[in-house]
Amino acid sequence: MKNSENKNHILLSVRHLNKSFRSGDAEQTIINDLDLDIRQGDFTVIMGSSGAGKSTLLYALSGMDKPTSGSITFCGEDITSYSADKLAVFRRKHCGFVFQQIYLLDKMSLMDNALTAGLLVGGKKKETVRRAAALFEKVNLPEVTWRKFPSQISGGEAQRAGIVRAVINRPEVLFADEPTGALNSNNSDAVLDVFTELSRDGQSIIMVTHDKKSALRGNRVIYLRDGRIFGECDLGEYTPDNAARTEKLNAFLTEMNW
């Protein structure tokens, strides 16, 4: 069920999710009995103060981390019971990741970074290479950069290459953890534009951010506090320079004491 047009379809369903860490004798609860549904095609933004559990929730949803209890259902299947290897298969087939630290493989060219993910799911090599090239062009990375190593390009270019790697397998969900956190303003805008374009193409995105400008790109904002959903705001479809959306988000965040 790739990028279906069915906007009401529930892609991810979370029930009574708990995640706690033990530190010495003390147990710290990060996610606390959380319920959440993620709809197909939504650009969901998760916000909250530091330690609210944003990243923990993101990585639990994507099968990168195992919750302490509760269930996460992806297209009707509970992924919390998956083994490590099965979760790896789940990630490669259904998820894409964009990280704040970018995390490109530094000993590989940008093209190889993309193909490392693209060729993992099988399919014809030529087609995968063509798709990678198309995506690079889509994120405004010219051919001359494809053979470069991550250390030879700017942060913004690296992050856009990271997005190519994340979406090359046409994942059901694109997970992004503070994707503009390490970028300057210009590079941030370029990266966010890519996200917006992907969202318009029907890509489901879940993005953690503490940046209001980034949050405006989503159509749904969830605010976490103490591991629970403290509030939720529906912003509607993103359009540039939409003052009403900005005002709505500001009001929501004020309400959330952000």
Q: For residues 200 and 162, what is the distance between their CA atoms, to the nearest angstrom?
A: 19
The answer to whether 147 contacts another protein (rule: CB under 8 A) is: yes
Tell me which amino acid residue 230 is: F
- Name the amino acid, one letter, at 122: G
Binding mask of the shown chain, residues 69 to 108, with x at each position contacting another protein by CB under 8 A: ---------------xx--xxxxxx-x-x-x---xxxxxx
Q: Are strands 204-208 and 43-48 parallel, antiparallel or unpaired?
A: parallel
Single out the segment in contact with another protein by CB under 8 A; choices: 5-13, 40-48, 59-67, 208-216: 59-67
Candidates 165, 217, 225, 245: give the one binding another protein (CB under 8 A).
165
Query: Least Å distance between CB 237 and another protein?
Result: 30
CB of 179 to another protein, least distance (A): 14
- Give the count of beta carbons closer than 10 Å to the beta carbon of residue 154: 13
Nearest-angstrom CA–CA distance, 42 and 227: 22
Which residues contact residue 98 at a Cβ distance below 8 angstroms, ignoring those fewer than 6 apart?
159, 162, 163, 166, 174, 175, 176, 177, 179
Tokens of 201: 């193409």
- List 8, 50, 151, 254, residue binding another protein (CB under 8 A): 151
149 binds another protein (CB under 8 A): yes
What lies within 8 Å, CB to CB, of 60 at 6+ separation is 17, 19, 31, 66, 67, 72
Site size for another protein (CB under 8 A) = 37
Smallest gap from residue 232 Cβ to another protein (A): 25
111 counts as binding another protein under rule CB under 8 A: yes
- Report CA-CA distances (Å) from 156 to 60, 101, 186, 223, 237: 27, 11, 8, 27, 25
With binding defined as CB under 8 A, does residue 116 bind another protein? yes
- Binding residue for another protein, selected from 41, 43, 59, 204, defined by CB under 8 A: 59
Residue 200 engages another protein in binding (rule: CB under 8 A)? no
Question: Contact positions toward another protein, by CB under 8 A?
Answer: 59, 64-65, 84-85, 88-93, 95, 97, 99, 103-109, 111-112, 115-117, 119-121, 125, 129, 147, 149-152, 165
